[in-house]
Amino acid sequence: MSFAQSLAEPNSRNVDLANLIRQIANQDQQAMSSLYDLTNRLVFGLVLRILNDHATAEEVTLDVYTQVWRQALRFDGTRGGPLAWITTIARSRAIDRLRSDKQDHLREESLETVTQYATSDDVEDDAFNSELRRIIRKAMEILTPEQREVIELAYYSGMSQSEIALKLSQPLGTVKTRTRIGMLKLREMLGPTLQGI
């Protein structure tokens, strides 16, 4: 389970986004515009947190929606929710850009800072983003500090387990074990929530 799959979304929003993706698969440009309007702040915020560069984040965000347009036929609602699918694409594109630019400074940020990546003037979006941050914080609180650290480095900084082991001066096996146990705990905690996405 990717960490992006832990992003919860209200069922009505989930259905709306899934319908839009189906329309996009039929080359519906209006649906693409609507999907962008509903999700771009979240996507841009996530990409910006990973890249820490506004101009580059704008470019990558456009790349994300280009990929959504091209791959809408591949979306499978039985494997995860539409928002999880889009944010997984966004995270992958941002990490690819981070690596291709050979940026040496992989960032560490507190969970509180990272989970504030989406801002909005819309009351519904504010409520949604607030609930999203609460769910992520609550789920991460069940982890030990060591488990939380390796998962944050992997997800938010895009580090491989080998890179994490080197950074933390820990054996690779220790990092793998912490990651595996942490992800199992998150899956258990988020299981009921994930049923709806």
pLDDT at 60: 92
More reliable by pLDDT, 89 or 184: 89
As a whole number, mean pLDDT of residues 46-59 equals 89
Mean pLDDT of the chain: 77
For tokens 């994490």, what's the residue?
164
In tens, the pLDDT along 58-73 reads: 999 999 999 999 999 9
As a whole number, mean pLDDT of residues 153-177 equals 85
As a whole number, mean pLDDT of residues 20-31 equals 92
* Distances 91 to 25, 49, 58, 85, 116 between C-alpha atoms, Å: 21, 10, 13, 10, 16
Statement: residue 9 has pLDDT above 50: no
Q: Which domain holds residue 70?
A: 3-106
106-115, 122-131, 176-185 — which is least confidently predicted? 106-115
Helix (H, G, I), strand (E, B), or coil: what is residue 45?
helix
Residue 179 lies in a domain: no
Statement: residue 143 has pLDDT above 50: yes
Helix (H, G, I), strand (E, B), or coil: what is residue 107?
coil
As a whole number, mean pLDDT of residues 118-145 equals 67
Residue 97 lies in a domain: yes
Work out the pLDDT band at 144, boundaries 50, 70, 90.
confident
CB atoms < 10 A from the CB of 140, how many? 20
Residue 115 lies in a domain: no
Residue 155 lies in a domain: no
Q: Inter-axis angle of helices 54-71 and 11-25, to 10 degrees?
A: 70
Residue 131 lies in a domain: no
pLDDT at 110: 41
| Cβ proximity of 136 and 116 under 8 Å | no
More reliable by pLDDT, 1 or 112: 112
More reliable by pLDDT, 7 or 83: 83
Work out the pLDDT band at 129, boundaries 50, 70, 90.
low
Rounded CA-CA distance 41/21 in Å is: 18
As a whole number, mean pLDDT of residues 34-45 equals 91
Residue 195 lies in a domain: no
pLDDT at 124: 60
As a whole number, mean pLDDT of residues 119-148 equals 70
Domains of the chain: total: 1
Rounded CA-CA distance 132/126 in Å is: 10
CATH number at residue 58: 1.10.1740.10
Residue 19 lies in a domain: yes
Residue 139 lies in a domain: no
Rounded CA-CA distance 19/104 in Å is: 40
Statement: residue 86 has pLDDT above 60: yes
